[in-house]
Structures are given as structure tokens and as C-alpha cells.
Amino acid sequence: MLITVITAVAQEHRADYRVVPLPDRIDGIKDKDFLLKSTCLIDYPAGNRDMERVAVMLSGYIEDLTSMHLSTRPVKSSTNNSGCISLSLDPKMINDEGYRITVTSKNIEIAGKTPAGVFHGIQSLRKSLPVGQTTTVIMPAAQIVSNPRFGYRGMHLDCVRHFFDAETVKRYLDIMALHGMNRLHWHLTDDQGWRIEIKKYPRLTEVGGWRKGTVLGHNSPVNDGIRYGGYYTQDEIRDIVQYATDRFITIIPEVDMPGHMLGALAAYPELGCTGGPYEVWCQWGVADDILCVGQDKTLQFVKDVLDEVMQLFPGEYIHIGGDESPRVRWQQCPRCQQRIKDLGLTAHGKQSVEALLQGWFTTQMQQYLAAHGRHIIGWDELLGCDVDTTATIMSWRGAEPGAEGAKLGHDVIMTPVGPLYFDYYQTKDTWNEPTAFGGCNTLKKVYDFDPVAADLPAGMRHHILGAQANVWTEYITCEPQIQYQILPRMAALAEVQWMEPAAKDYQDFKARLPHLVDIYKHYGWTYRAKSLAVEEEEQEQP
Ligand code: ACM
Ligand code: ZN
């Protein structure tokens, strides 16, 4: 009896390296266990600010989960690191974001080619820890090595349809970091609001940031009549960008154009084909009113906005949207028709002159951004507009546009509605779920997704940069609901993003998931507990 109890306690305080996403290799080393205690120091290379920061973060993570406080220490390479966790850089490693953790009875070394790799190693070590107060964690001697399959490992967040404050966005970044993700696609402008302060055009947020009310349900005739809105100041954005950068996450802002622009049109009606008046939309869907690209002042407006966007977001990519842009206004607009004539656009194949006008407009913005060293990402509608292959395509209307884009020579990010729209339901039992868009993207469907289509020729596979889940928030009104929609589906996505398909195993993943969920619980995050049950998957077999 006594022996059983002692064993149970020891088990509880033992690290388990089989985390989510599962590392490529976990090889045992013939040595005694390492005993992690609060007297262990976390060493980092003296003078390296990134390594100092991640060392402090590791200390925080260990304290969060175990209540042990470990101090950090800057060291020269010759320092004796016995009994320590040493963070180090190894230029010989192959992948910029890969990591190697070596645990011996003497010490733990977390190595990466870059601090980002070390950070991912830290996340892996963090997830291996038991959750709950303790004074010692037994760390079995082992070497753990992992390299991500894809360089682009994203999550998207729509902060327009509902607005989420800076603290919520930061927690979203925390959740991403735990899952080894590195790109936040931040949807900041749309028909239902303009959420980014632009100094040159203050009405964008003063007027365009607010709607008179919000439709109830899926576009019912009933509006709640409650003024709704908000926006991020440039100071808040800089702070969020820094918070992301500290976690090796690049934020890709999206300014959706030329459609999904009612927020801007309500503020500056002269930018539309009819001149308005326009209102910030109180319902969901696709609006006919879009930017009038027949006038030069519209192009100047967009460039001015992009100037401020580029100042705030230092990353390579700016997302310019391009989805769901009806052409009815352009067909009726003398200025837009004149532009088509002046440019000598002629319809060919499936492409109308208005589609080519969108292509021309997009190319103007693409070239403007390129002159500032930036690249565009756009939704897959751009494939129908003759844009050149320096545009990266985000495949959302299924996986086929992604394959088509790769064949044409575009880089592609896979975010197909099935299974990567996390605003969709996660079960067929929708009655017992928070209201969602529709559809059914189960945990297993997410897990089984391969961003690289089986029939994509080998020579084109390098165009698939990675995968991302999208979180549109028409029906998501609060942070717990965001978390419910993404957890635990993000865990499944993390294995899609990190692991080779041949190494993936859903049942094994499900066995490893409860420990990750213990970490969710520890941080007080909301998640869909039913997705952990084995039975549900069986019910959902077609
Ligand atoms: C989209 O869902 N309209 C990209
Ligand atoms: Zn026009």
C-alpha cells in the first residue's frame, strides 16, 4: 500500500517529453535522471538580450506550472553549468526554428540555431512538466530533437466583427506560443468596423470604428440597437507587436481591399463609387459597396494607410485581403469604367474587365509595398485577377485554389474552410454548442489535414509555406468563446504544422492531449472538453 502511494507521487512529478506537437525524436540516454529543483539556475549566454528574455520566460513558465522559482544567470561559455538548465545557440543546427534538448544527470541543455529555436525548445520542456505545486521534477535522461515541417504556422483573428481588447490579443499570442506557432494574421478592417488608428484619417476610427447595432443571429431581421465598436491606438498596436516579437511571432496585419470597406466608406464616402452616404454595417455578409478605384484619390488614400501600417508592423508581409469584392458598383461607375478604358483592359477567358481592374488595383498596391521591401498576401480570389506570382495566396475556398496557385508559381498558405475555419462548429451536435458560423470541423478532421495535396507535383511543394486556422467572429462575442473555438483544435493544427504526415497518429495524439489540456486549465483558458472524448469521434463517422 505504502509503495503504491510513493510510486503514484513520483509519477506525478516526472516529466513526460511526449508533448503536443510531438517532437521528431525522443531518444533515451543511459544516465540517471536529472532532478529539477528551485536551486537550479537557468543559464543563458551573457550579453544576448533575446536569450536573456527567453530565460526569464522559462523561469516564469516553470513557476506557473510547479511553483518552483528558478533564477536566471548570464554566463560565459566556460562557466560550469552542472545542475543547471543551459540555453545555448548552435549554428550547426539545420532549421532556424528547430530545437534540441539534452537531459543528463548533470544538466539540461536547450539548444537552437536561433533564439526562436531555443524558445520552441522551452515550450516543449514547459509542456513536459507536471502541473501542480512540487519541489522536484524528475527529468529522465534523454535527447529530444524537433524541426517544424512548415515555416508559416499561423492563426488568424478577426477583431472587427467583434472587438477584443489588447489583453485578449496578448493571451491569444500566449496560446499560440504554447502551440509552437509563429504568425498571427490580424484582421483589422471590414464592413462592420475599422479597428486601427490611422493618424492621417482620424474619421476611420472616430466614425468607421462604430456601428449602430448588431444583427441578432445569422442575419435575422432583428438588430440589437446597441452602439458597438472600438479600435486599437497606434501605441497599443506597437505594444502588441512587441509582445508578439518577444515570442517570435510575426503579426501580419490585414487591410481588406477593395471590398469589405464599409468602415472606411462610412468615414470617407467620397472613396466609394456612389459617394454614399454609407453606414458601418450592422449585419454580416458581402456588401456591394466597395472602394472606387477609378479615382486617384482612392489609391492615394490606400497608400497613405499602408504607410502607417508599415510603420507599425515591421514584418515582410502585409495582407491586402481581396476576397468577396462584388463588381456591381464598378460596372455602373463612370470613373471605374473610364479607368478600364484608359488601361485598355479587355475581358479574356473567365476574367471580366472588372476582375482585371481588381488585378490592376492590387498590383498598384503590391508594387507600392514592394518598393518598401514588403510582400502581399491576398485571399485566393486574386488568382482570378491576373496578379503576378510575387503575391502569396491564402487558399480559403477549399484546398484546390492553393494547389492551383502553387502550379502557377505562387507561394501559398493553406487556410481552407474545411477544416481550418475554427469559427465553424466542431461537432454535429450543434444544439449544445455556442452559436457558430455553420459547418463541422472536428478535431479529427483538423488533425488529418495535409496542407500539401497528395497529387501536388514534387517540384511545386516548396510553394506551400504552411497552414493557418481562421477565426472569424460574427458569432464570437467574448474571449472564452474564442478559446472554446480554438482549443483543443489548435493542438491538432500544431501537429499538422510541425510533424511529417507519416509520423502523425490520431490515437496517440488523443492520448497526449489531456496533459496539454491540464495546462489550459491551469491558465484558466476555456476549451471544448467534449473533444477529448473518444466516443464522439465514433459517432461522427459518416
Ligand atoms: C473569407 O473567409 N472571406 C476569406
Ligand atoms: Zn468607381
Task: Dump pLDDT digits (tens) for 345-361.
Answer: 999 888 999 999 999 99
In a domain, 2, yes or no: no
Residue 235, in any domain of the structure: yes
What does the pLDDT read at residue 1? 47
Active site residue 167: no
Looking at the fold, whether 158 and 243 belong to one and the same domain comes out as yes
Q: Calculate how far, in angstroms, residue 271's C-alpha sits from the geometric centre of ligand 2.
A: 8
Q: What are phi and psi of 66, to 5 degrees?
A: -120, -10
Average pLDDT, the chain: 95
| pLDDT score, position 82 | 87
At residue 537, the pLDDT reads 56
Q: Is 429 found in the same domain as 300?
A: yes
Model confidence over 410-456: pLDDT tens digits? 999 999 999 999 999 999 999 999 999 999 999 999 999 999 999 99
Looking at 109, 190, 381, 411, which residue is catalytic? 190
Determine if ligand 1 sits within 6 Å of the CB of residue 323.
yes
* Last residue of one domain, picked from the residues 125, 146, 167: 146
* DSSP calls for 400-432: HHHHHHHHHT--EEE--HHHHBTTS-SSS-GGG
Residues 159 and 42 in one domain: no
41: its cell numbers? 539556475
Are both 135 and 180 inside the same structural domain?
Answer: no
**Distance from the alpha carbon of residue 332 to the mean position of ligand 2, in angstroms:** 8
Fill in the DSSP letter of residue 26.
E
- Of the candidates 146, 172, 205, which is a domain's last residue? 146
- The answer to whether the beta carbons of residues 414 and 470 sit under 8 Å apart is no
Q: What is the CATH number of the domain that holds 231?
A: 3.20.20.80
Whether pLDDT at 539 is above 80:
no
Contact assessment for residue 196 and residue 309, using Cβ atoms and an 8 Å cutoff: yes
Mean pLDDT across 108-121: 98
% residues pLDDT > 90 (the chain): 94
Q: Is residue 311 part of a domain?
A: yes
Nearest Cα residue to 173 out of 248, 112, 116, 255: 248
Which residue, among 447, 443, 451, has the nearest Cα to 415 in the 3D structure? 451
**Boundary of a domain, candidates 115, 146, 177:** 146
Per-residue pLDDT band at 2 (split at 50, 70, 90) = low
- Cα-to-centroid distance, 386 and ligand 2 (Å): 20
Q: Does 397 contact ligand 1 (Cβ within 6 A)?
A: no
Record the cell numbers describing residue 519, joined without a space: 495546462
Do 116 and 164 lie in a common domain?
Answer: no
Range from 74-83, 99-108, 151-160, 359-368 carrying the lowest mean pLDDT: 74-83
CA pair distance 25, 9, nearest whole angstrom: 27
φ/ψ bin of 535: left (φ > 0), alpha (ψ from -120 to 50), beta (otherwise)? alpha
Sign of CA dihedral 499, 500, 506, 512: negative
Answer yes or no: is 540 within a domain: no
pLDDT for position 10: 46
Percentage above 70 pLDDT, the chain: 96
Residues 504 and 22: their CA atoms lie apart, in Å, by 9
Confidence (pLDDT) at 62: 98
324 in ligand 1 pocket by Cβ < 6 Å? yes
CA pair distance 521, 98, nearest whole angstrom: 27
100 and 210 share one domain = no
In a mutational test of the pocket of ligand 1, which residue from 254, 396, 423 has the highest number of ligand atoms less than 8 Å from its CB? 396
Task: Ligand 1, residue 421: give the atom nearest the CA.
Answer: 2
Known catalytic residue: 540? no
Average pLDDT for 192-221 = 98
Query: How far, in Å, are 199, 496, 531 from residue 527 at the CA level?
Result: 38, 19, 9
- Report CA 324 to chain centroid distance, whole Å: 21
Residues 6+ apart with CB under 8 A from 74: 43, 44, 45, 46, 47, 52
Q: 541 in a domain, yes or no? A: no
Catalytic residue (choose from 323, 324, 450, 518): 324
Does residue 3 sit within a domain? no
Mean pLDDT value across residues 218-231: 97
pTM of the model: 0.96
**Is residue 193 located within the same domain as residue 104?**
no
Q: 284 CB less than 6 Å from ligand 1? A: no
Both 341 and 487 in one domain: the answer is: yes
538, part of any domain: no
C-alpha pair distances (Å), 252 with each of 249, 314, 325, 539: 10, 9, 21, 38
Tens digits of residue pLDDT in 4-20: 555 545 445 999 999 99
User: Is 190 labeled as catalytic in the residue annotation?
Assistant: yes
Q: What is the CATH number of the domain that holds 35?
A: 3.30.379.10
Q: Which of 8-17, 265-274, 402-411 has the lowest mean pLDDT?
A: 8-17
> 153-174, pLDDT tens digit by residue?
999 999 999 999 999 999 999 9
pLDDT score recorded for residue 80: 81
Q: Are residues 91 and 156 in the same domain?
A: no
Q: How many domains does the chain have?
A: 2
Same domain, 202 and 339: yes
* Same domain? 104 vs 172: no
- Same domain, yes or no: 166 and 131: no
Range of the domain at 75: 8-146
Residue 119 lies in a domain: yes
Average pLDDT for 362-387: 97
pLDDT value for 29: 97
